[in-house]
Amino acid sequence: MPISPTSNAAAIGLSGMRAAQQQLGTQAHNIANGQTPNFQRQTVVQTAQVGGGVSTAVGRETTASSADGTGLSASPVDDLVGQRVSLYSFAANLKTVQTQDDMLGTLLDTKA
């Protein structure tokens, strides 16, 4: 089934919101479990979709140790900053969905 340009904007925005939510959850997991012995950080890999939008996959960080000897290659501060970035990304994608919804409402008002 072909996707119209208006529904495509919403689909792209929703996939971005899901990706931001996945990032936020993964970073929270890393912060909560960072002090656990032998903990391996989780990472989220985002892949662009052909028709627009993004898909995500969660994996484990392959680096086992860091320069400071803690076993963490990224600090909790990096995850906290990443959480803030994820929130901004979610809000930006939400605005895309809201704008598409407003445009559709305007179109329906014009046609009525």
| pLDDT averaged per 10 residues, the chain (length 112) | 59 94 96 90 92 92 59 78 96 94 82 68
Res 68: pLDDT: 52
Q: What residue has token string 């014009």?
A: 110
Q: What is the rounded distance in angstroms from the CA atom of residue 25 to the CA atom of residue 84?
A: 12
Q: Tell me if 110 is assigned to some domain.
A: no
Residue 95 covered by a domain: yes
Task: Give pTM, 2 decimals.
Answer: 0.78
Give the helix, strand, coil percentages of the chain, each rounded to 5: 60, 10, 30
Amino acid identity, position 44: V
Spatial CA neighbour of 3 closest among 111, 100, 108, 73 = 100
Q: Is residue 11 part of a domain?
A: yes
Query: What is the pLDDT at residue 105?
Result: 83
CA–CA separation, 16 and 86 (whole Å): 10
Q: Note whether residue 75 is domain-resident.
A: yes
Burial 91-101 (b: 16+ CB within 10 A, else e): eebeebbeebe
Which one, of 62, 48, 51, 50, lies nearest residue 19 by Cα?
A: 48
Q: Which domain holds residue 47?
A: 5-63+70-104
Confidence (pLDDT) at 55: 94
Q: Is residue 111 part of a domain?
A: no
Number of domains in the chain: 1
Residue 30 lies in a domain: yes
pLDDT value at residue 99: 92
Residue 39 belongs to some domain of the structure? yes
If DSSP states are collapsed to H, E and C, what string results for 30-59? Answer: HHHHCCCCCCCCEEEEEEECCCCCEEEEEE
